[in-house]
Amino acid sequence: MNFESNPLTAGNLLKQGIDSEIWPEEAETQYKSLPPGTPRPAVEIQGSVKVMPSAPNTVQPLVRHYSLPVAELLKKMNMYSNNMMAQMLADAAGGAPVVARKVAEAAGVPPAEIQLSNGSGLGEENRISPRAAVAIFQAIELYLQPYNMTVADVFAIAGKDLGVLKERKIPTLSVVKTGTLNSVASIAGAMPTQKQGPVWVAIMNGGENLEGFRAQQDVLLNSLLSRWGAVPSAPAELSPSAARIGKSSRSEIVQ
């Protein structure tokens, strides 16, 4: 709950979240951003949260929650560059060293070109070469093909999706992922063009001019698009699957 990995903290936040009578001011502020008329949860739990290795056999579930599919979670994570989600997924996959090794193998690049100290990418100890960044995207593209999915199913589409790309002037229909540290601005992905087809790109700038770097990246990509021609609609390999429409999480009352 709230991306908290400590089970006791997460449990107490869940207990608080489903009872609007004990919401803190932050929760009230978030509630006001929801559509008018959104019901206020009113589930009061009088007992305390207990951390246990597994649920007792005598426990009967009251409510069952069905998560979004993993691919949709990845899409949301990448749209908003959610570092906590990235860290949790990396931990679930075995940790940063395991992720780095498996990704290098899948992308077909030397292990030295993918160095990870954590799963979120925060920190200058995390280093991925531009060549490796493009190779990773292409490996993901190949991995998704048997599932009738594309990179657009798990990464943000410029000009279409909300999130961190909203304020950028990246060519519309490009499927990209940005990354930012205090002294690093980067972007990688694919840009559809008329003359060259999808063009894979990776740009990494280092220094203290982050806003300037982002603006320069946008200008460069748009200049390339002017040379190679924009497309009226995304090609199939950069279009999300129609099956993605309507994917949602849900809860049901069991008893």
Is the pLDDT score of 245 beyond 90? no
Predicted TM-score of the model (pTM): 0.88
Query: CB–CB of 86/121 below 8 Å?
Result: yes
Is the pLDDT score of 21 beyond 90? yes
Query: CB–CB of 203/188 below 8 Å?
Result: yes
pLDDT at 246: 80
More confident of the two residues 197 and 63? 197
Query: CB–CB of 151/190 below 8 Å?
Result: yes
Segment 160-178 mean pLDDT: 96
Query: CB–CB of 32/48 below 8 Å?
Result: no
pLDDT at 100: 98
Closest CA to 115 of 131, 136, 94, 129: 129
Segment 3-21 mean pLDDT: 94
Average pLDDT, the chain: 95
Q: What is the percentage of the chain residues whose pLDDT exceeds 90?
A: 90
Segment 61-77 mean pLDDT: 93
Domains within the chain, CATH numbers bracketed? 7-59 (no CATH), 70-242 (3.40.710.10)
Is the pLDDT score of 193 beyond 90? yes
Task: For 121-163, write each residue's pLDDT tens digit.
Answer: 999 999 999 999 999 999 999 999 999 999 999 999 999 999 9
Segment 174-179 mean pLDDT: 97
Bridge-based pairing of strands 127-128 and 114-115 is antiparallel
| Spatial separation of the C-alpha atoms in residues 35 and 5, rounded to whole Å | 29
pLDDT at 143: 97
Is the pLDDT score of 210 beyond 90? yes
What pairs with residue 177 in β-bridges? 188
pLDDT at 58: 92
Which residue, chain included where needed, has tokens 């992922």?
177
Segment 176-190 mean pLDDT: 96
Phi, psi of 250 (to 5 degrees): -155, 160
Is the pLDDT score of 55 beyond 90? no
Q: Retrieve residue 10's tokens.
A: 């997460």
Is the pLDDT score of 247 beyond 90? no
Q: State which H helix or E strand residue 43 sits in.
A: none
| Spatial separation of the C-alpha atoms in residues 81 and 70, rounded to whole Å | 16
| Spatial separation of the C-alpha atoms in residues 11 and 51, rounded to whole Å | 8
